[in-house]
């Protein structure tokens, strides 16, 4: 059975080899080596166009800000910029990269819980669209910095609204137990305190309900919360906010290749979740319209809705090619401790570990694995697949008994050293979290452009890159 579905036009096969946007992935592996990340620009554009449809179902402006933390290679940021959308950054470093990639200050919003003064100075100097203030203390720090610079900082208030979704606990960002944002009454007190300030312009209210949310109904609760706050700010303090930011979190179907392999049902439900963002926001707006407490006169005039998609823009644009470097067999002993061998585990050791795919360790995240060399052959043989790191947790399967990853990975028979494998849908939070653990140089990135050509947008680290900042 083929492991590549025919309706995934950017994943096809020729003579059983995996082709990505019409390019032979095994040829890419030979040219650039592995591990290798390959990104589809056409799929990225398609994902952004899908998000733009939200603007058709709401009666106010839409501002899409790509979450740079998902993947911030300059070549990817430039491809995002060319689609005409904006960007969300989470540090001074990401802000600097966004400016390098060609984004203007008016296109940038700046999240984060622990902003330093130099980061605030960079944001204020470049007159960015909004600094998302995480606390009352941070708001005072922004005011102090803007006053010293003799400028006015554009600010929105990040609120923690106590909205729970069905994603992983580490991806929940709208609960009181999370580290993000200020309480609603604190945000309202900030509106009153800084009303009319010469150096602080509070223009919006912001919340984020977390990532990979499987239930679209949480957006209804989130949008209602935002509009109630906007209405109360206007009614209580006479302050008309110009924008509402509902964050991101739209899910990606990680199992769309028919790839579930013995995963826990709850994990599979989250990973298989899929809904149209425009449909979710249409339903959310229809609900808000019926809630009189959320609306007031002229509240929609000049209002802009911001969203911060990251995973839903970049996740399914990217594959990671890895080569099998070592194989071994190990007997499996019956659990009754009788020492009777019942079967054999076949191990495959690759050159891509959790230093490149950290979520596979931290969240036990599932990335579907197929043979790039023999993608059309039956994937029906069980393997224990692991990475190269000196860490027992550097594996592609479950070792904790929680079933969030499969116990084995299914690949063709007789996989040998030199065979190229492909991890699918791994664009989000993979390379951006990568490290040089075990002295392993970071990999290159190839962008398959809209014209079908392959462009190297990040070279592979060389050994000097491992010690660039060391002092000898």
CA-nearest of 123, 64, 126 to 91 is 123
Give the mean model confidence (pLDDT) for residues 75-101: 98
Q: Which long-range contacts (CB under 8 A, 24 or more apart) does 81-88 make?
A: 83/44, 83/45, 83/48, 83/49, 85/48, 85/51, 85/52, 86/129, 88/308, 88/310
214 pLDDT above the threshold of 90: no
Query: How is residue 155 annotated by DSSP?
Result: E
% of the chain at pLDDT higher than 70:
87
In whole numbers, what is the pLDDT of the chain averaged over residues?
Answer: 89
Per-residue model confidence as pLDDT tens digits over 116-128: 999 999 999 999 9
CATH number of 111-309: 3.20.20.10
1 pLDDT above the threshold of 50: no
CA dihedral 459, 464, 466, 467 (to 10 degrees): -140
5 pLDDT above the threshold of 90: no
Q: Give start-end residues of each CATH 2.40.37.10 domain in the chain.
A: 11-40+316-466
Instruction: Yes or no: say if 165 and 175 are a contact pair by the CB < 8 Å rule.
Output: no
176 pLDDT above the threshold of 80: no
SS3 letters across 64-83? EEEEHHHCCCHHHHHHHHHC
283's tokens = 């339903």
Q: Tell me the pLDDT band of 140, cut-offs 50, 70 and 90.
A: very high
Higher-confidence position of 452 and 405 = 452
The stretches of 265-383 forming alpha helices (DSSP H) are 265-271, 277-289, 311-314, 359-362
Per-residue model confidence as pLDDT tens digits over 390-402: 999 999 998 877 6
Give the pLDDT score at 177. Answer: 57
Q: Tell me the pLDDT band of 216, cut-offs 50, 70 and 90.
A: confident
Give the pLDDT score at 364. Answer: 84
Q: Tell me the pLDDT band of 387, cut-offs 50, 70 and 90.
A: very high
H/E stretch holding 385: strand 381-386
CA-nearest of 465, 464, 434 to 37 is 434
Instruction: Yes or no: say if 379 and 411 are a contact pair by the CB < 8 Å rule.
Output: yes
162 pLDDT above the threshold of 70: no
CA-nearest of 247, 370, 339, 241 to 294 is 241
Q: Tell me the pLDDT band of 58, cut-offs 50, 70 and 90.
A: very high
Angle at 191 between CA 190 and CA 193, to 5 degrees: 60
% of the chain at pLDDT higher than 90:
72
| Distance of alpha carbon 50 from alpha carbon 309, whole angstroms | 11
Q: Give bridge partners of residue 131 from the DSSP assignment.
A: 110, 155
DSSP string of 179-210, one letter each residue: S--B-HHHHHHHHHHTTT-SSEEEEEEE----
CA-nearest of 10, 35, 30, 31 to 455 is 31
CA-nearest of 281, 294, 302 to 209 is 281
89 pLDDT above the threshold of 50: yes
Per-residue model confidence as pLDDT tens digits over 304-339: 999 999 999 999 999 999 999 999 999 986 655 555
Angle at 93 between CA 92 and CA 94, to 5 degrees: 95
Per-residue model confidence as pLDDT tens digits over 269-295: 667 777 899 999 999 999 988 875 556
Give the pLDDT score at 264. Answer: 61
| Distance of alpha carbon 248 from alpha carbon 251, whole angstroms | 9
SS3 letters across 292-311? HHHCCCCCCCCCEEEECCCH
Of 14-23, 61-70, 256-265, the range with the lowest mean pLDDT is 256-265
Give the mean model confidence (pLDDT) for residues 73-89: 98
| Distance of alpha carbon 412 from alpha carbon 409, whole angstroms | 10
Give the pLDDT score at 169. Answer: 45
**Whole-number CA gyration radius for the chain:** 24
The stretches of 86-156 forming alpha helices (DSSP H) are 92-100, 117-125, 136-149
Of 2-11, 48-57, 310-319, the range with the lowest mean pLDDT is 2-11
Q: Give start-end residues of each CATH 3.20.20.10 domain in the chain.
A: 111-309
Per-residue model confidence as pLDDT tens digits over 410-427: 999 999 999 999 999 999
Instruction: Yes or no: say if 40 and 317 are a contact pair by the CB < 8 Å rule.
Output: yes
The bridge status of strand 36-40 relative to strand 445-448 is parallel
Residue 9, Cβ neighbours under 10 Å: how many? 12
172 pLDDT above the threshold of 50: no
CA-to-CA dists, residue 74 to 40, 326, 356, 453, 459, angstroms: 15, 34, 18, 18, 12
Give the pLDDT score at 336. Answer: 56
Higher-confidence position of 158 and 162 = 158
Per-residue model confidence as pLDDT tens digits over 182-207: 999 999 999 999 998 999 999 999 99
Give the pLDDT score at 357. Answer: 95
Query: How is residue 396 annotated by DSSP?
Result: S
CATH number of 11-40+316-466: 2.40.37.10
């Amino acid at each position: 059975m083929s492991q590549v579905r025919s309706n995934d036009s950017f994943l096809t096969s020729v003579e059983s080899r995996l082709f990505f946007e019409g390019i032979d992935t095994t040829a890419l592996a030979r040219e650039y080596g592995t591990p290798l990340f390959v990104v589809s620009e056409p799929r990225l554009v398609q994902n952004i166009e899908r998000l733009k449809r939200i603007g058709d179902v709401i009666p106010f402006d839409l501002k899409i800000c790509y979450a740079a933390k998902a993947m911030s290679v300059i070549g990817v940021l430039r491809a995002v910029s060319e689609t005409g959308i904006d960007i969300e950054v989470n540090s001074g470093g990401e802000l600097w990269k966004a400016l390098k990639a060609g984004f203007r200050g008016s296109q940038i919003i700046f999240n984060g819980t622990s902003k330093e003064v130099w980061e605030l100075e960079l944001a204020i100097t470049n007159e960015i669209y909004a600094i998302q203030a995480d606390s009352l203390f941070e708001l005072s720090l922004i005011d102090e910095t803007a006053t010293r610079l003799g400028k006015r900082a554009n600010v929105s208030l990040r609120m923690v609204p106590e909205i729970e979704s069905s994603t992983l606990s580490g991806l929940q960002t709208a609960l009181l137990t999370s580290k993000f944002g200020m309480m609603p009454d604190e945000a309202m007190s900030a509106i009153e305190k800084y009303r009319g300030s010469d150096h602080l312009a509070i223009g919006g209210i912001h919340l984020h309900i977390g990532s990979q949310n499987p239930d679209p109904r949480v957006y209804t609760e989130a949008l209602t919360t935002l509009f109630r706050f906007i209405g109360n700010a206007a009614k209580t303090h006479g302050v008309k906010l110009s924008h509402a930011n509902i964050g991101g979190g739209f899910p990606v179907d990680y199992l769309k290749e028919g790839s579930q392999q013995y995963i826990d049902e709850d994990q599979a439900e989250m990973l298989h979740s899929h809904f149209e963002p425009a449909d979710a926001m249409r339903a959310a707006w229809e609900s808000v319209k019926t809630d009189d407490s959320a609306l007031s006169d002229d509240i929609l005039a000049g209002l802009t809705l911001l969203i911060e998609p990251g995973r839903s823009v970049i996740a399914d644009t990217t594959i990671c090619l890895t080569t099998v470097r070592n194989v071994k067999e190990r007997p499996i002993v019956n659990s009754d401790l009788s020492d009777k061998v019942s079967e054999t585990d076949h191990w495959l050791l690759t050159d891509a570990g959790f230093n490149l795919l950290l979520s596979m360790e931290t969240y036990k995240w599932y990335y579907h694995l197929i043979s790039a060399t023999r993608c059309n052959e039956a994937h029906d043989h069980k393997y224990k697949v692991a990475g190269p790191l000196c860490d027992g947790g550097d594996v592609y399967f479950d070792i904790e008994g929680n079933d969030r990853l499969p116990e084995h990975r299914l690949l063709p028979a007789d996989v040998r050293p030199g065979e190229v494998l492909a991890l699918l849908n791994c664009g989000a939070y993979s390379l951006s979290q990568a490290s040089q653990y075990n002295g392993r140089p970071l990999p290159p990135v190839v962008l398959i452009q809209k014209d079908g050509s392959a462009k190297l947008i990040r070279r592979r680290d060389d050994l000097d890159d491992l010690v660039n900042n060391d002092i000898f």
